[in-house]
Amino acid sequence: MNIRSFLADRVRHAMSDAGIPSDYSPHVAISKKAGFGDYQANGAMAAAKAMKTNPRVLAQTIVDHLDLNGIAEKIDIAGPGFINIHLASTWLAKQYDMPAQERIDSQTVVIDYSSPNLAKEMHVGHLRSTIIGDAIARILEFRGDKVIRQNHVGDWGTQFGMLIAELEEQLGDGERAELALKDLEGFYQQAKAHFDKDTAFADRARQYVVALQSGDAKVLRLWEQFKNVSLKHSEDIYQTLNVTLNASNVRGESAYNEDLAPTVTALKAQALAVEDDGAQVVFLQELADKNGNPSPVIIQKKDGGYLYATTDLAALRYRANTLKANRILYFIDARQSLHMQQVFTVARKAGFVDEWVNLEHHPFGTMMGADGKPFKTRSGGTVKLADLLVEAIERAHTIVSEKNPELDAATIKEVSQKVGIGAVKYADLSKTRTNDYIFNWDAMLSFEGNTGPYMQYAYARICSIFRKANIDLNSFSGELCVTEPQEKSLVLKTLQFDEALEHVSADAMPHILCTYLYDLASLFMTFYEACPILKSDVDDNTRNSRLQLSKNVAQRLQQGLELLGIETMERM
């Protein structure tokens, strides 16, 4: 049930019956202030302005035609022409039984996220793309879109010549690939050092780049080995992070090799790419700087090599034409905004992507340390994502064992895993995506405020109410009767779950769902204080109604957290 769109339909009809042309939207939204109803229809003002009439009078005419009998208990007009709709509790209580509206606008959506470079291990810089992209993938899928996850890993480029040469040498000494590459970071450094001091090795590394590009079987085999071990590192992280990416979602840069030359040819044929100092360049007047100089996009170097942008253009051709996406989302650091704009602009101009396909770069800010600078290790190095996650689980372990010493060791272990990982993810997902944020262990692991542990605890608390009453939450069913204001607020909030998801899907902003869940949990706590459930003087009907309401809250908390990729538990 989506109350907002239901009301918008009713108001749209009333507007049309009031003689307002259908191009004016009813603008129905959740009321922001208490006392102004549950929803507001704000369309009268814009319509009145265009029709050159008095907005309050027009709002009254709309209300005269608005049939919300049995649905609203009151409709009033405020200010210059806001229509405030106060919903009836009796109607609200019945809405849980309404079937979900079938979406008629489902889309095929490609989501490019995580996409680490395989030359090294994943570091904290990959966290945001991985978990934000995954939350959006889950949410769009849940809402009925066909979601195609694309892990555009960096598995191509000159550094692979050096890495393959190093791998060959270590395998020659009898080492197994898994062991040689156990510490990818260290391996990279070894290869680099080797490259810098040993000219024969450096020459071989360069030859291997050429051999790789020309499809030399032996070099390709080494490259495959390297890729597989590196991918395994990432897959372990996805599993720890409870992220849905798997091997079938990997389509790395190398997958587009065959289409790079045709892409450049197509751009040359349309005279979009021109030769500049031996290189092939597309000059974009659309993205000109303040002095009017067009923005250059190099798609082929003087030596014939292709670039990051060329691969992304080929990937776009594949996503639009082969995967037949209507919407393509990229979760990539804000520092790559210009790159994405260039790629989108070139793809549009060249007709690689039809104009009805949405191309959306959803950038995000940087994760900062306490010093306000990008998050680093104490010695100033990049933090491996694997290490960060181990620390999160350890810290959660300390807190959980202190808070709940009576839990057995196996449960503490499981709870720590879910709380630690959930805390890291929630702290990130609950911040406005486009801002930088400061990474703070104590804040994210707190059981109070808008945190992962607080949300998980709110769910566990409802489970404990059912446990205390000796009732199975899943099979319980009680009839709702809504009398107290705290009950009404809570019913309304639970019914707005779908609206929150709709909003997240449109803006690709997971924090909207976090805010919704936090409000829901807070309203539950207020309700729980004001409306006793298990006390002996509470009659059966009231108790069953309140249990049902609690169950509805628990289900949404659990479902909402799952859509964020955060696990819940019945006790913690």
Q: Rounded to the nearest whole angstrom, what is the least distance from the CB of residue 334 to ligand ARG in the complex?
A: 12
- DSSP notation for 217-265: HHHHHHHHHHHHHHHHHHHHHHHHHT----GGGB--GGGGHHHHHHHHH
Q: Rounded to the nearest whole angstrom, what is the least distance from the CB of residue 132 to ligand ARG in the complex?
A: 13
Cβ contact 428:540 at 8 Å: no
Fill in the per-residue mask, 114 to 153: x = in contact with ligand ARG (CB under 6 A), - = not in contact: -xxx----------------------------------x-
Candidates 121, 134, 166, 312: give the one binding ligand ARG (CB under 6 A). 312
Measured from the CB atom, the residue of 204 and 317 that comes closer to ligand ARG is: 317
Q: For strand 367-368 and strand 437-438, is the pairing parallel, antiparallel, or unpaired?
A: parallel
Decide: helix, strand or coil at residue 539: coil
Question: What's the rounded Cα separation, in Å, for the pair 234 and 247?
Answer: 10
Measured from the CB atom, the residue of 339 and 503 that comes closer to ligand ARG is: 339
Measured from the CB atom, the residue of 315 and 325 that comes closer to ligand ARG is: 315
How many of the chain's residues bind ligand ARG (CB under 6 A)?
Answer: 10
Fill in the per-residue mask, 152 to 181: x = in contact with ligand ARG (CB under 6 A), - = not in contact: x-x---------------------------
Measured from the CB atom, the residue of 312 and 502 that comes closer to ligand ARG is: 312
Q: Does 509 bind ligand ARG (CB under 6 A)?
A: no
Calculated CA dihedral for residues 437, 508, 128, 121, nearest 10 degrees? -160
Question: What's the rounded Cα separation, in Å, for the pair 203 and 415?
Answer: 52
Measured from the CB atom, the residue of 126 and 204 that comes closer to ligand ARG is: 126
Q: For strand 327-330 and strand 72-78, is the pairing parallel, antiparallel, or unpaired?
A: unpaired
Decide: helix, strand or coil at residue 25: coil
Cβ contact 108:329 at 8 Å: no
Q: Rounded to the nearest whole angstrom, what is the least distance from the CB of residue 229 to ligand ARG in the complex?
A: 18
Q: Rounded to the nearest whole angstrom, what is the least distance from the CB of residue 166 to ligand ARG in the complex?
A: 21
Q: Rounded to the nearest whole angstrom, what is the least distance from the CB of residue 69 to ligand ARG in the complex?
A: 53
Handedness of CA 384, 385, 387, 392 (dihedral sign): positive
Measured from the CB atom, the residue of 96 and 308 that comes closer to ligand ARG is: 308
Q: Rounded to the nearest whole angstrom, what is the least distance from the CB of residue 38 to ligand ARG in the complex?
A: 42
Q: Does 314 bind ligand ARG (CB under 6 A)?
A: no
Structure token pair of residue 124: 């904290």
Measured from the CB atom, the residue of 39 and 113 that comes closer to ligand ARG is: 113
Q: Rounded to the nearest whole angstrom, what is the least distance from the CB of residue 324 to ligand ARG in the complex?
A: 18
Q: Rounded to the nearest whole angstrom, what is the least distance from the CB of residue 308 to ligand ARG in the complex?
A: 7
Site for ligand ARG in 90-119 (CB under 6 A): 112, 115-117
Q: Does 310 bind ligand ARG (CB under 6 A)?
A: no
Q: Rounded to the nearest whole angstrom, what is the least distance from the CB of residue 332 to ligand ARG in the complex?
A: 5
Site for ligand ARG in 408-447 (CB under 6 A): none
Query: Residue 355 carries which DSSP code?
Result: T
Question: What's the rounded Cα separation, in Å, for the pair 487 and 393?
Answer: 37
Q: Does 227 bind ligand ARG (CB under 6 A)?
A: no
Measured from the CB atom, the residue of 115 and 542 that comes closer to ligand ARG is: 115
Q: Rounded to the nearest whole angstrom, what is the least distance from the CB of residue 312 to ligand ARG in the complex?
A: 5
Measured from the CB atom, the residue of 123 and 204 that comes closer to ligand ARG is: 123
Helical ranges in 247-384 per DSSP H: 257-269, 308-317, 337-349
Measured from the CB atom, the residue of 119 and 399 that comes closer to ligand ARG is: 119
CB contact burial 282-299 (16+ within 10 A = b; e otherwise): bbbeeeeeeeeeebebbb
Measured from the CB atom, the residue of 243 and 393 that comes closer to ligand ARG is: 243
Calculated CA dihedral for residues 270, 356, 139, 43, nearest 10 degrees? 140
Identify any residues that bridge with 273 across adjacent strands, giving them in sequence order.
282
Work out the number of other CB atoms within 10 angstroms of the CB of residue 487: 23
Question: What's the rounded Cα separation, in Å, for the pair 178 and 116?
Answer: 19
Question: What's the rounded Cα separation, in Å, for the pair 286 and 289?
Answer: 9
Question: What's the rounded Cα separation, in Å, for the pair 280 and 274?
Answer: 6
Q: Rounded to the nearest whole angstrom, what is the least distance from the CB of residue 112 to ligand ARG in the complex?
A: 5
Fill in the per-residue mask, 321 to 350: x = in contact with ligand ARG (CB under 6 A), - = not in contact: ---------x-x------------------
Cβ contact 352:316 at 8 Å: yes
Q: Rounded to the nearest whole angstrom, what is the least distance from the CB of residue 440 to ligand ARG in the complex?
A: 25
Question: How distant is the alpha carbon of residue 436 from its chain centre?
Answer: 16
Site for ligand ARG in 4-63 (CB under 6 A): none
Q: Which residue has tokens 């709380």?
A: 419
Per CB under 6 A, residues contacting ligand ARG are: 112, 115-117, 152, 154, 312, 315, 330, 332
